[in-house]
Amino acid sequence: MNVSTVVEGKVVVVGPVLPESTIVTVYTHDSIVHLSPHLQAELQAAIDEADREEDISAEELFGQLTKRR
C-alpha cells in the first residue's frame, strides 16, 4: 500500500513508481465506504486471514482476494 499526498489538487504517490495506466482507488481519512453485507463479510474474512498469516507479499494477498470473487 502506498501513502500519498495531495499537492496543488493532484495526488502525488510516495513510493514505487506505478506502471502507466495503473488503476488506483483513493480513500481519504474522512471517506465513508458503504459495503453490502456480502462484501463486509468478505473483507472481514480477508482481515481475519491476514491476522492469522505470517508475512505474505501484497501480490499474494491481492491474488488470493481476486480468486475469491
Taking 70 as the threshold, does the pLDDT of residue 1 lie above it?
no
Q: What is the pLDDT of residues 11-68, one digit of tens each?
A: 888 777 888 888 777 777 777 777 888 988 888 888 888 788 677 778 888 888 888 7
Taking 80 as the threshold, does the pLDDT of residue 3 lie above it?
no
Of how many residues is the chain composed?
A: 69
- In angstroms, rounded to a whole number, what is the distance separating the alpha carbons of residues 13 and 48? 28
Model pTM score:
0.36
- pLDDT for 46 equals 86
Q: What DSSP string describes 6-52?
A: EETTEEEE-SSPPPTT-------TT------HHHHHHHHHHHHHHHH
